[in-house]
Amino acid sequence: MSLLIDVGTVLRGTVCDLYSNLVTRPTGAAVRTAIERQVVEIGSPVVTTIDFSQVNLLDFSCADEIVAKLLLRYAAADGPTGYLLFRGIHEGHLDPIETVLERHMLALVALHDGMAELYGVVTEEERLHWETVRDHGPVQSDTVARLLDVEWAVAEQHLEQLRNRRLLMRHSGGFAVPGTGPELT
Determine the length of the chain. Answer: 185
> Does position 17 bind other proteins by CB under 8 A?
no
> Does position 142 bind other proteins by CB under 8 A?
no
List CB contacts of 81: < 8 A, sequence separation 6 or more.
Answer: 44, 46, 185
> Does position 85 bind other proteins by CB under 8 A?
no
Question: For other proteins, which residue of 6, 12, 14, 23 counts as binding (CB under 8 A)?
Answer: 23
Q: Which stretch binds other proteins (CB under 8 A): 41-49, 76-84, 91-99, 167-175?
A: 91-99
Number of residues that bind other proteins (CB under 8 A): 46
**Could you tell me how far CA 153 lies from the centroid of its own chain?**
26
Q: Nearest 10 degrees: CA dihedral of 119, 2, 135, 142?
A: 110
Helical H segments across 63-164, by residue range: 69-75, 91-104, 124-136, 141-148, 152-164
Question: For other proteins, which residue of 36, 125, 131, 160 counts as binding (CB under 8 A)?
Answer: 131
Question: Given the rule CB under 8 A, which residues bind other proteins?
Answer: 16, 18-21, 23-27, 56-61, 64-65, 68-69, 91-92, 94-96, 98-104, 112, 115, 117-124, 127, 131, 135-136
